[in-house]
Structures are given as structure tokens and as C-alpha cells.
Amino acid sequence: MRVLLVEDDADLSRRIAASLRAESFVVDIARNGEDAQHAGLTEFYDVAVLDLGLPNIDGVSVLKAWRAAERTFPVLILTARNGWPDKVESFKAGADDFLTKPFKVEELVLRLRALVRRSTGHASSKIACGPLTFDAQLGTFELSGLPLKLTALEWRVLSCPMLRKDIIVDRRELIERVYEGDAEVDSNSIEVIVARLRRKIGPELIETVRGRGYMLTVAL
């Protein structure tokens, strides 16, 4: 899952990013409204965390620009402002959730996972594909009822098509959701990770669609 974290406090953004990366999120950071607006308009994101008080362009204006451009990824407002007018303005601009500072990182993680799950059309937190089950709220996988141990990269690759069963996930989209922007990516890195996953969960669950990407196809 790829997150755009928009927070002008450098220390806080580093701490939040470290916590999200520990939960296997890919995190891009923007520290002003102009950079945030550009990133949200030009990159793939599963979800965004957006502060309201930003340099250059305020958070609500950034959000309005995203929605005006039909960028539909869910947005969680994370701010020290806790007044009702700020909440109303944020939700009217297109926010999906609102969390005030100070906050627990554990709660932020749970809310982000819930937003991503709902945005991909899943009412239940548990998503099944044959013997494979993904708890989108806890971020855990099971295979035939037993915990499945995955590396961070394997988790990122597998969770993307799991949330979009029966839909082809483009290879480029996978790369952008698995690696952070400054990472050096080998041309066959996704293929290597998919091969490792097939050894762990069985080759029949992941289908390669030549020239396009990958999909999970086993019926529930």
C-alpha cells in the first residue's frame, strides 16, 4: 500500500513514516501544499494523510484540487485543529476520515487500512482467495488457516492484487506501490518477488497476464 504523507513538521513526518514503513506501507512525504498537490495529481496512491496547516497551499485547497481532478484515493486529515468547522470544511472538500493530534500511530494504521479496504470495495476485513486469506485490517495473511510469513516486499506485492481480485494489476503500478520513489529497482525485481510468492502460496493462485501484469483468479 502506497501512502502520501503530507506533514510540514519534519520530525513528526519522519516518525510517522518510520511507523508506517514498519507496517509495510510505502511512504512518500510532502512537506508543503504545492508538493503535495503535485504528487497527488501525478502519482499512484492507495491513501493519503493530509495536514491542514501547510506552507504555500493549505490542506483543504490541496484536497479540493485533487478531487477536482477526479483523484479518488481516500484521504485522512491529520491535524491539531479539532473544531467542528474544520471537520465540516474537510469533509465537504472530499475527506474520508479525520484524526486529531496528538494521536496513536496504531490508530492511524488501522484507519488507513480500513480506508484502503473500503475504497477497493470490501465490506469485510477478511478477504479470501482459495486457501489464501488476507485480513486487511490487521495486515496479516493466512494460508489454509496457518499464518503466512512474508517479507515486506512480498507483503506489498501480494496485498495489491489481493485487494483487487479478478482485476489485472499493471506491473508499473505494482512497482510504484512496492518501492519508494528514490529506490533503485532492477528490471526483473517484481518477477523475482512473484516467483518467491508462488513457492510460498502455490503457483496456481497468481496468474501472469503477458504484457500487462498479474492477477489472483481463484474463486471464493
What is the CATH number for 16? 3.40.50.2300
Residues 7, 113 within the same domain: yes
In the listed set 63, 90, 119, which residue is the last one of a domain according to the structure? 119
In the chain, beta strands by DSSP E: 2-6, 26-30, 47-50, 75-79, 97-100, 126-129, 132-135, 140-143, 146-147, 169-170, 206-209, 213-216
Dist CA 82 CA 62 (whole Å): 19
Residues 6, 78 within the same domain: yes
Is the confidence at residue 219, as pLDDT, over 70?
A: no
Residues 114, 138 within the same domain: no
Per-residue pLDDT, averaged over 15-29, amounts to 93
In the listed set 119, 142, 168, which residue is the last one of a domain according to the structure? 119
**Domain range holding 114?**
2-119
Tell me the pLDDT tens digit for each residue of 64-97.
999 999 999 999 999 998 889 999 999 999 999 9
Residues 186, 112 within the same domain: no
**29, 61, 63, 81, 107 from 51: Cα distances, Å:** 12, 11, 10, 9, 16
Residues 136, 94 within the same domain: no
Dist CA 206 CA 179 (whole Å): 20
Dist CA 98 CA 100 (whole Å): 7
For the chain, the domain total comes to: 2
Residues 63, 112 within the same domain: yes
